[in-house]
């Protein structure tokens, strides 16, 4: 009868925890409910719940019940100290001697707090550690199967809700960053368009009159040399202005069904002379089973030209650039990679590489990658960079495989496989 009563108690407590998980809008409240109810049903002194911070590899306290403030603020705890054995991710760990275990980093404080036994319950999904519930008892004792099943079931549910919340928070962070970037680009675009139009006409006049004057002066003289410098720098200014206009335009993609390999071949043809003049080698591995997808050919070609020129300019003489394309059928995407073995990009620069007007080149406008980023995002794709300075830089472009429905003329994703 007593066993039946205890089982009912576990059931009711577990039900309360599940209700809190589904009804509360605060994760903190849910976690506090978990440690409070766990302490209550196991007749423990107290409990705390830690969540693993992946960046610092340390467990951070997120909820606590029944423990003194002095004990809680004893210092950080790493995964190696709390859970050194990966094989125990889904096992309850009992510590009956707080003095002689590496898992208790501050045994004196634990003893002074009246702790004589500790029960660690990892929060894990598959082989991924998310956090840990630590339960404190004032005297060692045996745990029944019902108690162990209760602890493990609560831990499993708790791990699921923490993972779900972390995923939502991560997506929200990415969305906020993207929204900030888009707003920044939109504001800069409007400003850039105004400046570009105001400057473009005077530049055209300077270029025209300088070119005419250079035809009338003595060849090889200092005046011709000065005029050539004016013409060269004016042309560079016009290139910058053109970049500003492209950045500001934010034109909606005019998509057609096309093979991305054909776009890459066109882009390679345009920059071919640059490769030859700089004595840069080219390796290409374009997927033969490439599928067609809806793209704005001109815009994607512009992206590839930007990335190829950046790669060529990054390598030294006799360096190498590699171009690859492939179909990711599992994720319904096309991937294109452009790599080089040039100087590379520093970690601090990578964080800002797609921001408007940010450039790692002495004479760069900082617009090429910003424009490319906007184009790929307008195609619902992704562009990212990986770099080890002095060894490799790799830009990866991912685009969804989409086709036009011939019956309705609308666009939808397809699960088309290579060769079909």
Q: What gap in Å lies between CA 93 and CA 84, rounded to an integer? A: 12
How confident is the model at residue 321, as a pLDDT? 93
Residue, of 66 and 25, whose pLDDT is higher: 66
Least confident of 189-198, 209-218, 280-289, 405-414: 405-414
202 exposed, middle or buried (CB, 10 Å; 0-12, 13-18, 19+)? exposed
The 8-class DSSP code of residue 100 comes to S
**How far is the first Cα of the chain from the last one, in angstroms, to the nearest whole number?**
66
For CATH 3.30.565.10, the residue range(s) in the chain are 252-420
**Residue 212 banded pLDDT, cuts 50, 70, 90:** confident
The 8-class DSSP code of residue 359 comes to -
The CATH class of the 252-420 domain is alpha beta
Q: Do the beta carbons of residue 381 and residue 398 sit within 8 Å?
A: yes
Q: Which helix (H) or strand (E) holds 354?
A: none
Q: Which two tokens stand for residue 94?
A: 């009992």
For CATH 3.30.450.40, the residue range(s) in the chain are 2-172
| pLDDT above 90 coverage of the chain, percent | 15
Query: What value does the mean pLDDT take over residues 389-400?
Result: 91
Query: What value does the mean pLDDT take over residues 314-320?
Result: 82
User: Would you tell me how many other CB atoms lie within 10 Å of the CB of residue 106?
Assistant: 14
How confident is the model at residue 13, as a pLDDT? 60
Q: What gap in Å lies between CA 407 and CA 111, rounded to an integer? A: 75
Least confident of 2-11, 16-25, 213-222, 321-330: 2-11
Q: Alpha carbon 326 to chain centroid distance?
A: 21
Q: What is the mean pLDDT of the chain?
A: 77
How confident is the model at residue 406, as a pLDDT? 41
Beta bridge partners of 338: 323, 395
Q: Which CATH superfamily is domain 2-172 in?
A: GAF domain (3.30.450.40)
**Residue 410 banded pLDDT, cuts 50, 70, 90:** very low
Query: What value does the mean pLDDT take over residues 110-135?
Result: 86
Pairing of strands 281-286, 320-328: parallel
Q: What gap in Å lies between CA 324 and CA 317, rounded to an integer? A: 22
| pLDDT above 70 coverage of the chain, percent | 73
Q: What gap in Å lies between CA 166 and CA 163, rounded to an integer? A: 5
Helix axis angle for 2-23 and 27-41, nearest 10°, is 170
263 exposed, middle or buried (CB, 10 Å; 0-12, 13-18, 19+)? buried
Could you tell me what percentage of the chain is helix, strand and coil, using 3-state DSSP and rounding each to the nearest 5? 50, 20, 30
Phi first, then psi: give them for residue 379, nearest 5 degrees. Answer: -95, 10
Q: What gap in Å lies between CA 48 and CA 67, rounded to an integer? A: 8
The angle subtended at Cα 178 by Cα 332 and Cα 334, nearest 5°, is 20
Query: What value does the mean pLDDT take over residues 380-390?
Result: 90
How confident is the model at residue 233, as a pLDDT? 76
Q: Which two tokens stand for residue 202?
A: 């005077």
Residue, of 406 and 55, whose pLDDT is higher: 55
Q: Do the beta carbons of residue 399 and residue 258 sit within 8 Å?
A: no
**pLDDT at residue 418 above 50?**
no
Least confident of 166-175, 350-359, 386-395: 350-359
pTM: 0.46
How confident is the model at residue 413, as a pLDDT? 43
Buried b (16+ CB within 10 A) or exposed e, 210-240: beeebeeeeeeeeebeebeebbeebeebbeb
Residue, of 282 and 355, whose pLDDT is higher: 282
Q: Which two tokens stand for residue 105?
A: 């980093």
The 8-class DSSP code of residue 366 comes to S
pLDDT, tens digit, 9 for 90 and up, residues 261-273: 999 998 898 888 8
**pLDDT at residue 71 above 70?**
no
In three-state secondary structure terms, 73 is coil
Query: What value does the mean pLDDT take over residues 85-106?
Result: 78
Residue, of 22 and 202, whose pLDDT is higher: 202
User: CA torsion sign, 10 to 15 to 21 to 27?
Assistant: negative
Q: Do the beta carbons of residue 140 and residue 107 sit within 8 Å?
A: no
DSSP 283-344: EEEE-TTPPEEEE-HHHHHHHHHHHHHHHHHHS-TT-EEEEEEEEETTTTEEEEEEEE-SS-
How confident is the model at residue 408, as a pLDDT? 42
Query: What value does the mean pLDDT take over residues 363-369?
Result: 63
């Amino acid at each position: 009868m007593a066993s039946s009563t205890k089982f009912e108690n576990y059931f009711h407590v577990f039900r309360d925890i599940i209700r809190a998980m589904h009804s509360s809008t605060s994760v903190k409240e849910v976690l506090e409910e978990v440690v409070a109810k766990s302490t209550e049903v196991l007749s423990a002194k107290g409990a705390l719940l830690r969540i693993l911070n992946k960046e610092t590899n340390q467990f951070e306290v997120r909820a606590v019940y029944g423990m003194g403030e002095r004990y809680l603020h004893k210092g950080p705890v790493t995964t190696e100290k709390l859970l050194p054995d990966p094989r125990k991710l889904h096992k309850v760990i009992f510590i009956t001697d707080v003095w002689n275990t590496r898992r208790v980093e501050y045994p004196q404080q634990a003893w002074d707090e009246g702790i004589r036994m500790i029960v660690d319950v990892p929060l894990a999904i598959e082989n991924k550690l998310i956090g840990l519930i630590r339960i404190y008892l004032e005297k060692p004792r045996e745990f029944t199967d019902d108690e162990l099943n209760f602890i493990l079931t609560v831990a499993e549910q708790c791990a699921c809700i923490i993972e779900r919340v972390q995923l939502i928070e991560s997506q929200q962070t990415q969305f906020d960053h993207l929204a900030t970037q888009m707003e920044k680009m939109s504001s800069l675009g409007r400003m850039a368009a105004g400046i570009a139009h105001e400057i473009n006409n005077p530049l055209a006049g300077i270029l025209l009159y300088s070119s005419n004057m250079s035809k009338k002066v003595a060849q090889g003289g200092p005046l011709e040399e000065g005029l050539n410098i004016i013409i060269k720098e004016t042309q560079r200014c016009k290139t910058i202005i053109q970049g500003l206009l492209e950045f500001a335009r934010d034109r909606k993609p005019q998509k057609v069904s096309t093979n991305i390999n054909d776009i890459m071949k066109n882009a390679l043809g345009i920059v071919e002379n640059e490769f030859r003049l700089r004595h840069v080698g080219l390796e290409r591995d374009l997927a033969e089973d490439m599928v067609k997808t809806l793209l704005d050919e001109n815009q994607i070609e512009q992206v590839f030209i930007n990335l190829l020129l950046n790669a060529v300019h990054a390598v030294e003489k006799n360096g190498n650039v590699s171009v690859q394309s492939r179909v990711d059928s599992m994720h319904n995407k096309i991937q294109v990679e452009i790599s080089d073995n040039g100087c590379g990009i520093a970690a601090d620069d990578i964080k800002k590489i797609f921001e408007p007007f940010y450039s790692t080149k002495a004479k760069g406008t900082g617009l090429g990658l910003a424009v490319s980023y906007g184009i790929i995002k307008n195609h619902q794709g992704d562009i990212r960079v990986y770099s080890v300075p002095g060894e490799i830089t790799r830009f990866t472009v991912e685009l969804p495989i989409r086709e036009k429905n011939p019956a309705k003329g609308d666009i939808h994703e397809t699960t088309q496989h290579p060769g079909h």
